[in-house]
Structure 1
């Protein structure tokens, strides 16, 4: 089973921001995330026009995504 927890890399060490439940020991892979949180769409073959179209189509779901009961999916 894979489990993800947030952490910060500082001074050569990874500091976990959460304690993983039911994981006494295990191997890990550390992936460094971009600070901005932005996805480089061009590197994924999506141009400006396609990105604009995608933004419009996904904006229709914003109201649903922001419902409090949707928070349950943030941990998946």
Structure 2
């Protein structure tokens, strides 16, 4: 499940714009810092295209060696996961987006 909440980094802490609901304590989070040029602070509008490009650039450069994965292991993983790529990117897979969130109220 992915949930997005806006906030501001101030004094070494993240101040959230709202309190998240239905989130377990100690849930893992990833914080993305936007360049001030990507955000109009008066309207809180985020230039999502620019921000997404920045995020994509950072996400595609992962040093696998720091995670204990050598070139041979990376090649093996890439080959084994390639079989899922077409299915995973299929439009019909969007049914699984927010699956836990949608089914938790049942």
Shorter-chain TM-score category?
A: 0.5 to 0.7
- The number of residue pairs the alignment matches comes to 68
Q: CA 1:71/1:62 → structure 2, altered by over 3 Å: closer, same or farther?
A: same
**Separation in structure 2 between the aligned mates of residue 33 and residue 40 of structure 1, nearest angstrom:** 19
More helix by share: 2
What stretches of structure 1 of length at least 5 have no aligned partner?
Answer: none
**Separation in structure 2 between the aligned mates of residue 40 and residue 74 of structure 1, nearest angstrom:** 28
Does 1 or 2 have the higher relative contact order (CA < 8 Å, sep 6+)?
2
Q: Which runs of 4+ in 1 moved over 6 A?
A: none
- TM-superposed CA distance for 1:63, in Å, is 1.0
- TM-superposed CA distance for 1:29, in Å, is 5.2
* 1:1-76 paired onto structure 2 within 5 Å: 4-12=2-10, 13-15=15-17, 23=21, 31-33=29-31, 35=55, 36-38=58-60, 39-76=62-99
Deviations, residues 9-67 of structure 1 (Å, cap 9, x unaligned): 42432346xxx6xx38x867573347522544223321112111211221121111111
With normalisation by structure 1, the TM-score equals: 0.54
What stretches of structure 2 of length at least 5 have no aligned partner?
Answer: 33-54, 100-106
**Separation in structure 2 between the aligned mates of residue 32 and residue 4 of structure 1, nearest angstrom:** 10
**Separation in structure 1 between the aligned mates of residue 83 and residue 30 of structure 2, nearest angstrom:** 31
